[in-house]
Amino acid sequence: MTTKRQLLLTPGPTNVPDAVLEAMKIPMIHHRTKDYQAIFERVNQSLKKVFLTQHPVVTFAASGTGAMEASMTNLLSAGDKVIVAHAGKFGERWRDLAKAYGVEAVCLEKPYGKALDPAEIARALKQHPDAKAVYVTLLETSTAVVHPIREIAAITRESQAILVVDAISGLACDPLKMDEWGVDVVVCGSQKGLMMPPGLAFIAAGPRAQQLIGESKLPKFYFHLGAALKALAKNDTPYTPAVSLVRALEVALDLILKEGPEAVWARHQKIAEWVREKARGAGLQIFSESPSNGLTAILMPEKVVSDQVIRTMRDKHGVIMANGQGDLKGRIVRFAHMGDTARPESAETGWCALTDALEVCSQATPAGGK
Amino acid sequence: MTTKRQLLLTPGPTNVPDAVLEAMKIPMIHHRTKDYQAIFERVNQSLKKVFLTQHPVVTFAASGTGAMEASMTNLLSAGDKVIVAHAGKFGERWRDLAKAYGVEAVCLEKPYGKALDPAEIARALKQHPDAKAVYVTLLETSTAVVHPIREIAAITRESQAILVVDAISGLACDPLKMDEWGVDVVVCGSQKGLMMPPGLAFIAAGPRAQQLIGESKLPKFYFHLGAALKALAKNDTPYTPAVSLVRALEVALDLILKEGPEAVWARHQKIAEWVREKARGAGLQIFSESPSNGLTAILMPEKVVSDQVIRTMRDKHGVIMANGQGDLKGRIVRFAHMGDTARPESAETGWCALTDALEVCSQATPAGGK
């Protein structure tokens, strides 16, 4: 079993603070007890404060994709039309989900590295007045792009369609004000900005979304939002919750709320700017047109393959960063400053490791690459 | 936050051994690394040994109900016919799942407390030669009944229908030999006999089931077994796994395999017999016609309401047992000896607490009850 601590600079899972890890090893309690329900009540209140919403935030034992699925199967019926705006691997998951459930998706596709265009979404909503929802991503993890959710919400709030945002990677890194901006549904996972182990998925649903939940006919069971919302009103869950993770979540959310969501975003922004400045100063190119606070995608210089760079950082420095996905594999290094690692010391260690690995790999023969 | 250790004698979550709790607080690692894949490979091998199968066992971040859903949406198409044999709240979940997904369920219902009748299942299979699967439960947690899976499998293995067993509560408590008996699908959860926190769900699929997976047209995404099986062959998962829980699972499975599954069943059986003997000796009635190794449902004497008994055990003795569910609420106490609490010292502490609480509550006015 690995016990040596590495510096985890991947865009999820991110490093879990010791206080959060400690909370997981408290002896098990039963979930249908006042002890557990008191914890869950505090967690539910804190989740609202972190999501910046007055509306309920449902917690599922699942990874984030489970909550994405819930945000489709609970809002729509077969044959419904939606607009999916995507520019990366995770945005494409909305398209794939729609296909799996027989939902008609009007896809607005942008190249990897680009940001979504609110004007294009506005045009699509006029062309498709029967679209029930717009599905987008806050931080597209595959490209490190943050999409203009505020501007998109300004359009959807005036339209017939609700706005569903995958904020799995972005929440508590990049600004997102659910109620103030008029976002109807926010989906999240535990292992990114929330500084938790993976295993919990979240979905916050505003009033327009809750109305659609009542009309939706797509099949669902484990991810049944109606049942979950009913149970949530009593700080309960339809099925056994992941007790240890929920207890740890209380601690993680307290850390975020003690600092304050806006201060957390500002801390991420400062680190992200520092990393980009360093990279540009070293003659490297930033891949993303609209870079996120939580993650920087750095293009490799010609003849350098990112696989090698990542392996060198891991073996020589104990620093773990992520490769590109799909066509971007080998071409970019994804340097995360997300959650607990959005701190100067982590970013500096990461940058030193990257600088050294780039030097090592620029000298090596490219044949040793992939 | 609760830190005082109670004796958890509920039928899930069960007590988690310290070594398993400790494994959860190891610093986070990324799941697409050799370190994690080595752990997951060992876990996957151990799961097969505990499920007594040569066939793959898929792990989902979810509670057990998620794996129940997976065993329906991945094997069937809309309009398919199945036989659901049920005699309690958890058996009824198969019926509810079928309804949610437009599957025609022929229901063989027995009263709560009774065991399923293999002959009745054999007759139903002859009457419905188009039934694709039979859905049953190993240990029906609401009634503490263990159903005759071996006898049912002897029938289904000779029929056109596959056998799907919900062993969420029963696995590693009551005997279940998946391959030897000819069970096609076994579904399980982490928080019962496996001595783990809740948050992981399992599904093992034999060759007849894998063939149905290829033909199934019901919609699915997060619980897509085809994608999960493909990833599993490389010790990978389609979506982010619950890393901390999987690491803890390695330790829990090692504990079971060190003792040996048959020895674990024998230990459970011995404790279950001891509890039943004590209860009968005290003039109490066992609710279940076919009592399980993992759980004993004890009928309350006349004028005693189980809510009061359970509250007294909790407040006076720090012993947590479960009430009945639905119509059985107030009428039974469910005394679990499951996983790590299937030990003489836990059963004795539980029995002393129950004896005392029964005495206290027999003297109290019943008005103080519910």
Residue A248 sits in a domain whose CATH number is 3.40.640.10
Please give, rounded to a whole number of angstroms, the shortest distance from the CA of A58 to a CA of chain B: 14
* Torsion angle, alpha carbons of A342, A343, A345, A348, to 10: 50
Last residue of a domain, one of A259, A276, A304: A259
Cβ atoms within 10 Å of B150's Cβ, excluding its own:
15
Closest residue in B to A20 (Cα) is: B25
pLDDT at B4: 57
Among candidates A91, A108, A225, A261, which has minimal Cα distance to A168? A91
Q: Angle B243-259/B261-281 helices, nearest 10 degrees?
A: 80
Q: For residue A1, what pLDDT is reported?
A: 40
Which residues of chain B fall short of a pLDDT of 70?
1-4, 364-370
**For A305-329, what is the mean pLDDT?**
97
Does the distance separating the beta carbons of B199 and A39 come in below 8 Å? no
| Residue A127, burial from CB neighbour count under 10 angstroms (0-12, 13-18, 19+) | exposed
Cα dihedral B28, A144, A154, A133 in deg (nearest 10) = -70
Give the angle subtended at the CA of A339 by the CAs of A334 and A341, to the nearest 5°: 65
| Domain match, B253 and B276 both | no
Q: For B121, what's the count of Cα atoms within 13 Å in the CB-facing half-sphere?
A: 31
Give the residue from B225, B259, B293 where a domain finishes. B259
d(CA B103, nearest CA chain A) in Å: 11
Contact: A239, B25; criterion CB under 8 Å: no
Q: Which residues of A touch B1 (CB under 8 A)?
A: 23, 26, 39, 247, 250
Compare all CA atoms of chain A with the CA of B101 and give the residue at the minimum distance. A219
Question: Are residue B255 and residue B265 in the same domain, yes or no?
Answer: no
State whether A243 and B197 contact (CB < 8 Å). Answer: yes
According to the model, what pLDDT value does residue A365 have? Answer: 56
Q: Which residues of A touch B5 (CB under 8 A)?
A: 27
> Does the residue A1 lie in any domain?
no
> Per-residue confidence at A2, pLDDT binned at 50, 70, 90?
very low
Same domain, B243 and B294: no
**Is residue A113 within 8 Å of residue A91, measured between CB atoms?**
no
Rounded to the nearest angstrom, the minimum Cα separation between B187 and chain A is: 14
Residue B51 lies in a domain: yes
A368 inside domain: no
Cβ-defined contact of A189 to B220 (cutoff 8 Å): no
Contact (Cβ atoms closer than 8 angstroms) between residue B135 and residue B87:
no
Name, in order, each residue with C-beta under 8 angstroms of B170's C-beta and a sequence gap of 6 or more. B137, B138, B139, B146, B176, B192, B193, B292, B294
- A44-70 average pLDDT score: 98
CB pairs under 8 A between A and B: 206
Chain B residue with CA closest to A4: the answer is B27
| Same domain membership, residue A326 and residue A312 | yes
Q: How far is CA A168 from the centre of its chain?
A: 2
Residue A341 lies in a domain: yes
Q: Between vectors from CA B322 to CA B319 and to CA B326, what angle results, nearest 5°?
A: 160
B72 and B215 both lie in a single domain: yes
* A83 and A183 together in one domain: yes
Question: Do A219 and A279 belong together in one domain?
Answer: no
* Residue A370 forms part of a structural domain: no
- Residue of chain A whose alpha carbon sits nearest to that of B66: A222
Using CB atoms, pick whichever of B25, B222, B320 lies closest to residue A66: B222
Are B244 and B326 members of one domain?
no
Pairing state between β B139-140 and B145-146: antiparallel
Q: Are residues B215 and B293 in the same domain?
A: no
Q: Which residues are B59's β-sheet partners?
A: B202
Instruction: State whether A209 and A294 are in the same domain.
Output: no
> Whose CA is closest to B348, among B274, B249, B289?
B274
How confident is residue A5, by pLDDT bands cut at 50, 70 and 90? Answer: confident
Tell me whether residue B84 is in a domain.
Answer: yes
Q: Total structural domains in chain B?
A: 2
**What average pLDDT does chain A have?**
96
Count CB-CB contacts under 10 A for residue B60: 30
User: What pLDDT, on a 0 to 100 scale, did the predictor assign at position A363?
Assistant: 86
> How many C-beta neighbours within 10 Å does residue A49 have?
14
* pLDDT beyond 60 at A252: yes
**Lowest-pLDDT choice from A20-29, A248-257, A356-365, B20-29:** A356-365
Specify the CATH number for the domain of residue B286.
Answer: 3.90.1150.10
Q: How far apart are CA A144 and CA A138, in angstroms?
A: 10
Range of the domain at B311: 7-13+260-363
Chain B environment of A16 (Cβ under 8 Å): 27-28
Q: Which of A233, A259, A285 is the last residue of a domain?
A: A259
Whether residue B2 is contained in a domain is answered as no
Give B158: exposed, middle or buried? Use CB within 10 Å, 0-12, 13-18, 19+: exposed
Same domain, A98 and A206: yes
A243-247, A272-276, B5-9, B152-156, range with the lowest pLDDT: B5-9
User: What is the value of ipTM here, to two decimals?
Assistant: 0.96
Instruction: Please tell me whether residues A147 and A233 are part of one structural domain.
Output: yes
Task: Specify if A2 maps to a domain.
Answer: no
